[in-house]
Structure 1
Protein backbone atom coordinates (compact mmCIF):
# COMPACT_ATOMS: atom_id res chain seq x y z
CA UNK A 1 0.00 0.00 0.00
CA UNK A 2 2.90 2.23 0.51
CA UNK A 3 3.43 2.20 -3.18
CA UNK A 4 0.12 3.96 -3.77
CA UNK A 5 0.87 6.85 -1.50
CA UNK A 6 4.35 7.49 -2.83
CA UNK A 7 4.51 10.56 -4.98
CA UNK A 8 5.02 9.78 -8.60
CA UNK A 9 7.80 11.43 -10.41
CA UNK A 10 6.74 13.81 -13.14
CA UNK A 11 7.85 12.66 -16.54
CA UNK A 12 10.72 14.52 -17.99
CA UNK A 13 9.71 17.40 -20.24
CA UNK A 14 10.84 16.77 -23.79
CA UNK A 15 13.70 18.83 -25.04
CA UNK A 16 12.88 21.72 -27.42
CA UNK A 17 14.39 19.77 -30.33
CA UNK A 18 12.15 16.81 -29.56
CA UNK A 19 9.10 19.13 -29.43
CA UNK A 20 9.94 20.54 -32.82
CA UNK A 21 10.40 17.05 -34.23
CA UNK A 22 7.10 15.90 -32.73
CA UNK A 23 5.34 19.01 -34.01
CA UNK A 24 6.80 18.45 -37.51
CA UNK A 25 5.75 14.79 -37.37
CA UNK A 26 2.18 15.76 -36.38
CA UNK A 27 2.03 18.28 -39.23
CA UNK A 28 3.35 15.71 -41.69
CA UNK A 29 0.80 13.14 -40.50
CA UNK A 30 -2.02 15.71 -40.73
CA UNK A 31 -0.93 16.63 -44.28
CA UNK A 32 -0.78 12.95 -45.27
CA UNK A 33 -4.19 12.38 -43.66
CA UNK A 34 -5.66 15.29 -45.65
CA UNK A 35 -4.11 13.99 -48.86
CA UNK A 36 -5.47 10.49 -48.26
CA UNK A 37 -8.94 11.89 -47.50
CA UNK A 38 -8.79 13.89 -50.75
CA UNK A 39 -7.70 10.80 -52.71
CA UNK A 40 -10.50 8.76 -51.14
CA UNK A 41 -13.12 11.40 -51.99
CA UNK A 42 -11.83 11.63 -55.57
CA UNK A 43 -11.88 7.84 -55.93
CA UNK A 44 -15.45 7.72 -54.60
CA UNK A 45 -16.51 10.48 -56.99
CA UNK A 46 -14.86 8.70 -59.94
CA UNK A 47 -16.56 5.45 -58.94
CA UNK A 48 -19.95 7.20 -58.78
CA UNK A 49 -19.36 8.86 -62.18
CA UNK A 50 -18.40 5.50 -63.68
CA UNK A 51 -21.51 3.89 -62.21
CA UNK A 52 -23.73 6.66 -63.61
CA UNK A 53 -22.05 6.48 -67.02
CA UNK A 54 -22.48 2.69 -67.14
CA UNK A 55 -26.14 3.02 -66.17
CA UNK A 56 -26.71 5.67 -68.85
CA UNK A 57 -24.94 3.54 -71.48
CA UNK A 58 -26.99 0.52 -70.46
CA UNK A 59 -30.19 2.54 -70.76
CA UNK A 60 -29.13 3.95 -74.15
CA UNK A 61 -28.21 0.48 -75.38
CA UNK A 62 -31.60 -0.91 -74.45
CA UNK A 63 -33.48 2.08 -75.90
CA UNK A 64 -31.54 2.25 -79.13
CA UNK A 65 -30.68 -1.41 -79.72
CA UNK A 66 -33.45 -1.67 -82.27
CA UNK A 67 -32.32 1.40 -84.19
CA UNK A 68 -30.82 -0.52 -87.10
CA UNK A 69 -33.82 -2.81 -87.35
CA UNK A 70 -36.21 0.15 -87.12
CA UNK A 71 -34.31 1.97 -89.86
CA UNK A 72 -34.67 -1.10 -92.09
CA UNK A 73 -38.39 -1.28 -91.33
CA UNK A 74 -38.80 2.33 -92.51
CA UNK A 75 -38.10 1.12 -96.04
CA UNK A 76 -41.07 -1.22 -95.73
CA UNK A 77 -43.25 1.64 -94.45
CA UNK A 78 -42.09 3.79 -97.39
CA UNK A 79 -43.02 1.06 -99.84
CA UNK A 80 -46.51 0.72 -98.34
CA UNK A 81 -46.96 4.47 -98.61
CA UNK A 82 -45.79 4.52 -102.25
CA UNK A 83 -48.11 1.63 -103.12
CA UNK A 84 -51.10 3.47 -101.66
CA UNK A 85 -50.20 6.76 -103.36
CA UNK A 86 -49.94 4.95 -106.71
CA UNK A 87 -53.67 4.23 -106.59
CA UNK A 88 -55.62 7.48 -106.24
CA UNK A 89 -59.06 7.43 -104.54
CA UNK A 90 -61.00 7.73 -107.82
CA UNK A 91 -59.31 4.59 -109.18
CA UNK A 92 -59.95 2.76 -105.91
CA UNK A 93 -63.65 3.55 -106.09
CA UNK A 94 -63.85 2.20 -109.67
CA UNK A 95 -61.78 -0.92 -108.95
CA UNK A 96 -63.05 -4.48 -108.65
CA UNK A 97 -64.01 -5.64 -105.14
CA UNK A 98 -60.97 -7.93 -105.10
CA UNK A 99 -58.61 -5.07 -105.93
CA UNK A 100 -60.30 -2.91 -103.26
CA UNK A 101 -59.73 -5.74 -100.78
CA UNK A 102 -56.03 -5.83 -101.62
CA UNK A 103 -55.75 -2.05 -101.26
CA UNK A 104 -57.62 -2.16 -97.95
CA UNK A 105 -55.25 -4.90 -96.78
CA UNK A 106 -52.23 -2.78 -97.70
CA UNK A 107 -53.72 0.20 -95.79
CA UNK A 108 -54.36 -1.92 -92.70
CA UNK A 109 -50.87 -3.43 -92.86
CA UNK A 110 -49.30 0.04 -93.19
CA UNK A 111 -51.26 1.34 -90.17
CA UNK A 112 -50.34 -1.75 -88.16
CA UNK A 113 -46.65 -1.35 -89.05
CA UNK A 114 -46.65 2.34 -88.06
CA UNK A 115 -48.48 1.56 -84.81
CA UNK A 116 -45.98 -1.16 -83.95
CA UNK A 117 -43.06 1.15 -84.71
CA UNK A 118 -44.62 3.83 -82.50
CA UNK A 119 -45.05 1.34 -79.65
CA UNK A 120 -41.28 0.82 -79.81
CA UNK A 121 -40.47 4.54 -79.69
CA UNK A 122 -40.37 5.27 -83.45
CA UNK A 123 -42.39 8.39 -84.29
CA UNK A 124 -43.02 10.32 -87.48
CA UNK A 125 -41.50 13.80 -87.60
CA UNK A 126 -44.41 16.24 -87.94
CA UNK A 127 -43.77 18.60 -90.84
CA UNK A 128 -47.22 20.18 -90.96
CA UNK A 129 -46.75 23.96 -91.29
CA UNK A 130 -43.23 23.53 -89.93
CA UNK A 131 -40.15 25.66 -90.41
CA UNK A 132 -37.04 23.95 -91.71
CA UNK A 133 -34.99 22.52 -88.82
CA UNK A 134 -31.59 21.10 -89.84
CA UNK A 135 -31.72 18.81 -86.80
CA UNK A 136 -34.84 17.06 -88.15
CA UNK A 137 -35.00 17.84 -91.86
CA UNK A 138 -32.80 17.44 -94.90
CA UNK A 139 -33.47 20.10 -97.52
CA UNK A 140 -33.16 18.75 -101.04
CA UNK A 141 -34.21 21.94 -102.83
CA UNK A 142 -35.38 25.50 -102.40
CA UNK A 143 -38.57 26.22 -104.29
CA UNK A 144 -40.98 29.14 -104.62
CA UNK A 145 -42.87 29.51 -101.36
CA UNK A 146 -46.40 29.11 -102.77
CA UNK A 147 -47.57 31.67 -100.21
CA UNK A 148 -45.47 30.24 -97.36
CA UNK A 149 -42.78 32.29 -95.61
CA UNK A 150 -39.13 31.68 -96.45
CA UNK A 151 -37.68 28.71 -94.61
CA UNK A 152 -41.04 26.91 -94.40
CA UNK A 153 -41.42 23.34 -95.56
CA UNK A 154 -43.28 23.27 -98.87
CA UNK A 155 -43.27 19.56 -99.69
CA UNK A 156 -42.18 16.36 -97.94
CA UNK A 157 -40.35 14.00 -100.26
CA UNK A 158 -39.62 11.33 -97.66
CA UNK A 159 -41.06 11.09 -94.16
CA UNK A 160 -38.62 11.45 -91.28
CA UNK A 161 -38.63 9.53 -88.00
CA UNK A 162 -37.25 9.75 -84.48
CA UNK A 163 -36.65 6.91 -82.05
CA UNK A 164 -37.07 7.71 -78.37
CA UNK A 165 -36.51 11.39 -79.11
CA UNK A 166 -33.35 10.81 -81.16
CA UNK A 167 -33.24 11.30 -84.93
CA UNK A 168 -33.61 8.01 -86.79
CA UNK A 169 -33.97 9.42 -90.30
CA UNK A 170 -34.35 13.07 -91.31
CA UNK A 171 -37.39 14.13 -93.31
CA UNK A 172 -36.37 14.98 -96.87
CA UNK A 173 -38.12 18.23 -97.73
CA UNK A 174 -38.27 21.13 -100.13
CA UNK A 175 -38.05 24.54 -98.49
CA UNK A 176 -39.60 27.87 -99.48
CA UNK A 177 -36.92 30.23 -100.66
CA UNK A 178 -36.80 33.89 -99.88
CA UNK A 179 -38.63 35.77 -102.59
CA UNK A 180 -36.48 38.24 -104.46
CA UNK A 181 -38.12 41.66 -103.96
CA UNK A 182 -35.61 43.72 -105.92
CA UNK A 183 -37.08 44.87 -109.22
CA UNK A 184 -35.49 43.53 -112.36
CA UNK A 185 -34.38 45.72 -115.28
CA UNK A 186 -37.55 44.88 -117.23
CA UNK A 187 -39.81 46.02 -114.38
CA UNK A 188 -38.10 49.42 -114.06
CA UNK A 189 -38.84 50.50 -117.63
Structure 2
Protein backbone atom coordinates (compact mmCIF):
# COMPACT_ATOMS: atom_id res chain seq x y z
CA UNK A 1 0.00 0.00 0.00
CA UNK A 2 1.36 3.40 -0.86
CA UNK A 3 1.08 6.21 1.56
CA UNK A 4 0.50 9.73 0.48
CA UNK A 5 2.33 12.74 1.90
CA UNK A 6 0.12 12.89 5.00
CA UNK A 7 0.76 9.22 5.82
CA UNK A 8 -2.75 7.98 4.99
CA UNK A 9 -3.77 5.20 2.62
CA UNK A 10 -5.21 6.28 -0.66
CA UNK A 11 -8.95 7.09 -0.47
CA UNK A 12 -9.87 4.34 -2.94
CA UNK A 13 -8.71 1.64 -0.50
CA UNK A 14 -10.65 3.27 2.34
CA UNK A 15 -13.83 3.17 0.29
CA UNK A 16 -13.30 -0.51 -0.54
CA UNK A 17 -12.63 -1.35 3.08
CA UNK A 18 -15.65 0.63 4.25
CA UNK A 19 -17.83 -1.08 1.63
CA UNK A 20 -16.49 -4.49 2.68
CA UNK A 21 -17.24 -3.74 6.35
CA UNK A 22 -20.73 -2.52 5.49
CA UNK A 23 -21.42 -5.67 3.46
CA UNK A 24 -20.15 -7.84 6.30
CA UNK A 25 -22.24 -5.81 8.79
CA UNK A 26 -25.38 -6.26 6.63
CA UNK A 27 -24.75 -10.01 6.36
CA UNK A 28 -24.30 -10.31 10.14
CA UNK A 29 -27.42 -8.22 10.73
CA UNK A 30 -29.39 -10.46 8.33
CA UNK A 31 -28.15 -13.61 10.12
CA UNK A 32 -29.08 -12.09 13.49
CA UNK A 33 -32.59 -11.20 12.30
CA UNK A 34 -33.07 -14.71 10.89
CA UNK A 35 -31.88 -16.28 14.15
CA UNK A 36 -34.27 -14.06 16.14
CA UNK A 37 -37.14 -14.98 13.80
CA UNK A 38 -36.32 -18.70 14.16
CA UNK A 39 -36.24 -18.36 17.95
CA UNK A 40 -39.62 -16.57 17.92
CA UNK A 41 -41.13 -19.26 15.66
CA UNK A 42 -39.82 -21.99 17.97
CA UNK A 43 -41.30 -20.19 20.98
CA UNK A 44 -44.70 -19.88 19.26
CA UNK A 45 -44.63 -23.55 18.20
CA UNK A 46 -43.84 -24.55 21.78
CA UNK A 47 -46.71 -22.44 23.11
CA UNK A 48 -49.09 -23.96 20.52
CA UNK A 49 -48.01 -27.48 21.46
CA UNK A 50 -48.44 -26.76 25.16
CA UNK A 51 -51.92 -25.31 24.52
CA UNK A 52 -52.88 -28.35 22.42
CA UNK A 53 -51.57 -30.67 25.11
CA UNK A 54 -53.71 -28.89 27.72
CA UNK A 55 -56.82 -28.87 25.51
CA UNK A 56 -56.58 -32.37 24.11
CA UNK A 57 -54.87 -34.26 26.95
CA UNK A 58 -58.16 -35.89 27.92
CA UNK A 59 -59.08 -36.93 24.36
CA UNK A 60 -58.22 -40.62 24.83
CA UNK A 61 -59.95 -40.72 28.21
CA UNK A 62 -63.04 -38.95 26.80
CA UNK A 63 -63.13 -41.36 23.85
CA UNK A 64 -63.28 -44.28 26.32
CA UNK A 65 -66.06 -42.58 28.29
CA UNK A 66 -68.13 -42.26 25.12
CA UNK A 67 -68.58 -46.04 25.20
CA UNK A 68 -70.09 -45.73 28.67
CA UNK A 69 -72.34 -42.91 27.48
CA UNK A 70 -73.44 -45.02 24.48
CA UNK A 71 -74.39 -47.87 26.79
CA UNK A 72 -76.39 -45.53 29.03
CA UNK A 73 -78.26 -44.27 25.93
CA UNK A 74 -78.98 -47.86 24.87
CA UNK A 75 -80.24 -48.78 28.36
CA UNK A 76 -82.58 -45.79 28.40
CA UNK A 77 -83.87 -46.52 24.87
CA UNK A 78 -84.48 -50.19 25.71
CA UNK A 79 -86.34 -49.30 28.91
CA UNK A 80 -88.49 -46.74 27.10
CA UNK A 81 -89.43 -49.32 24.44
CA UNK A 82 -90.88 -51.60 27.13
CA UNK A 83 -92.66 -49.29 29.59
CA UNK A 84 -94.83 -52.10 31.01
CA UNK A 85 -91.76 -54.07 32.09
CA UNK A 86 -90.13 -50.97 33.56
CA UNK A 87 -93.11 -49.86 35.68
CA UNK A 88 -91.64 -51.54 38.76
CA UNK A 89 -88.13 -50.31 37.98
CA UNK A 90 -88.94 -46.66 37.28
CA UNK A 91 -86.51 -45.48 39.96
CA UNK A 92 -83.77 -47.53 38.26
CA UNK A 93 -84.56 -45.84 34.93
CA UNK A 94 -84.48 -42.41 36.58
CA UNK A 95 -81.08 -43.27 38.09
CA UNK A 96 -79.74 -44.28 34.68
CA UNK A 97 -81.06 -41.03 33.16
CA UNK A 98 -79.49 -38.99 35.98
CA UNK A 99 -76.15 -40.76 35.44
CA UNK A 100 -76.37 -40.06 31.71
CA UNK A 101 -77.08 -36.34 32.36
CA UNK A 102 -74.16 -36.06 34.81
CA UNK A 103 -71.74 -37.76 32.42
CA UNK A 104 -72.92 -35.59 29.52
CA UNK A 105 -72.53 -32.37 31.52
CA UNK A 106 -69.09 -33.45 32.75
CA UNK A 107 -67.94 -34.09 29.18
CA UNK A 108 -69.36 -30.71 28.10
CA UNK A 109 -67.37 -28.95 30.85
CA UNK A 110 -64.26 -30.34 29.17
CA UNK A 111 -65.45 -29.12 25.73
CA UNK A 112 -66.66 -32.53 24.51
CA UNK A 113 -69.82 -31.91 22.47
CA UNK A 114 -72.16 -34.19 20.53
CA UNK A 115 -72.34 -33.63 16.77
CA UNK A 116 -75.88 -32.74 15.65
CA UNK A 117 -76.02 -35.01 12.62
CA UNK A 118 -79.70 -35.86 12.05
CA UNK A 119 -81.08 -33.83 9.14
CA UNK A 120 -77.68 -32.29 8.37
CA UNK A 121 -75.92 -32.52 5.03
CA UNK A 122 -73.41 -35.39 5.03
CA UNK A 123 -69.94 -34.09 5.95
CA UNK A 124 -67.11 -36.64 5.66
CA UNK A 125 -65.10 -34.61 8.19
CA UNK A 126 -67.77 -35.26 10.86
CA UNK A 127 -69.77 -38.27 9.67
CA UNK A 128 -69.03 -41.85 8.74
CA UNK A 129 -71.62 -43.15 6.27
CA UNK A 130 -72.48 -46.71 7.20
CA UNK A 131 -75.26 -47.14 4.66
CA UNK A 132 -77.42 -45.35 2.13
CA UNK A 133 -81.20 -45.40 2.37
CA UNK A 134 -83.65 -44.72 -0.45
CA UNK A 135 -85.64 -41.75 0.75
CA UNK A 136 -88.04 -39.58 -1.23
CA UNK A 137 -88.57 -37.08 1.60
CA UNK A 138 -84.98 -35.86 2.00
CA UNK A 139 -82.44 -34.53 -0.47
CA UNK A 140 -79.71 -36.98 -1.43
CA UNK A 141 -76.73 -36.68 0.90
CA UNK A 142 -78.85 -35.80 3.94
CA UNK A 143 -78.33 -37.72 7.18
CA UNK A 144 -81.62 -39.55 7.83
CA UNK A 145 -80.56 -41.78 10.72
CA UNK A 146 -77.86 -41.62 13.38
CA UNK A 147 -76.63 -45.06 14.36
CA UNK A 148 -73.95 -43.81 16.77
CA UNK A 149 -73.48 -40.24 17.96
CA UNK A 150 -70.29 -38.46 17.03
CA UNK A 151 -68.36 -36.06 19.26
CA UNK A 152 -65.84 -33.25 18.99
CA UNK A 153 -63.45 -31.96 21.64
CA UNK A 154 -63.02 -28.21 21.22
CA UNK A 155 -62.94 -27.99 17.40
CA UNK A 156 -61.22 -31.36 16.82
CA UNK A 157 -63.07 -34.56 15.89
CA UNK A 158 -63.10 -37.08 18.72
CA UNK A 159 -65.34 -39.68 17.06
CA UNK A 160 -67.32 -39.40 13.81
CA UNK A 161 -71.09 -39.87 13.86
CA UNK A 162 -72.02 -43.18 12.22
CA UNK A 163 -74.95 -42.36 9.98
CA UNK A 164 -77.33 -43.51 7.26
CA UNK A 165 -77.50 -41.13 4.32
CA UNK A 166 -80.43 -40.54 1.93
CA UNK A 167 -80.06 -41.43 -1.71
CA UNK A 168 -82.43 -41.01 -4.63
CA UNK A 169 -85.14 -43.59 -4.98
CA UNK A 170 -84.39 -45.91 -7.87
CA UNK A 171 -87.28 -45.77 -10.29
CA UNK A 172 -87.62 -48.26 -13.12
CA UNK A 173 -86.66 -46.75 -16.46
CA UNK A 174 -89.67 -45.34 -18.31
CA UNK A 175 -90.84 -47.14 -21.42
CA UNK A 176 -89.47 -50.50 -20.36
CA UNK A 177 -91.57 -53.46 -21.18
CA UNK A 178 -91.12 -57.14 -20.75
CA UNK A 179 -91.11 -59.16 -23.93
CA UNK A 180 -92.00 -62.80 -23.52
CA UNK A 181 -90.86 -65.33 -26.09
CA UNK A 182 -92.03 -68.83 -26.28
CA UNK A 183 -89.73 -71.34 -24.69
CA UNK A 184 -89.59 -73.46 -27.81
CA UNK A 185 -87.69 -70.80 -29.78
CA UNK A 186 -84.79 -70.97 -27.27
CA UNK A 187 -84.94 -67.34 -26.09
CA UNK A 188 -85.50 -66.38 -22.46
CA UNK A 189 -87.59 -63.49 -21.18
CA UNK A 190 -85.80 -60.15 -21.37
CA UNK A 191 -86.49 -56.42 -21.01
CA UNK A 192 -86.16 -53.95 -23.84
- Same fold (TM > 0.5): yes
Q: Secondary structure at the match of 1:154?
A: strand
**Distance (Å, rounded) in 1 between the aligned partners of 2:94 and 2:152:** 27
Q: TM-score, normalised by structure 1?
A: 0.85
For 1:1-189, what aligned pairs fall within 5 Å after superposition?
A: 12=6, 14=8, 18-88=10-80, 91=83, 95-96=87-88, 99-180=89-170, 183-184=173-174, 185-186=176-177
Q: Choose 175-184 or 130-139, whichever is displaced more.
A: 175-184
Kindly provide the CA deviation profile for residues 71-98 of structure 1, in whole angstroms up to 9, marking residues without a partner as x: 00000000000111111256168611xx
| Distance in 1 of aligned mates of 2:144 and 2:118 | 9
Whole-angstrom distance in 1 between the partners of 2:172 and 2:134: 16
Q: Note closer, same or farther for the CA distance 1:92–1:21 as it changes in structure 2 (3 Å cut).
A: farther
- Normalized per residue, which structure has more helix? 1
SS at match of 1:113: helix
Secondary structure (helix, strand or coil) at the match of 2:42 reads helix
- For CA contacts below 8 A with separation 6 or more, give which structure has more relative contact order: 1
The alignment partner of 1:129 has SS state of coil
Cα RMSD of the aligned pairs, angstroms, is: 2.2
1:45–1:182: structure 2 CA closer, same or farther, 3 Å change rule? farther
TM (norm. structure 2) is: 0.84
| Deviation for aligned residue 1:20 | 2.1
Aligned length: 175
Compared with structure 1, are the counterparts of its residues 107 and 182 closer, same or farther at alpha carbon in structure 2 (3 Å cutoff)? same
Instruction: Extract unaligned runs of 5+ from structure 2.
Output: 179-190
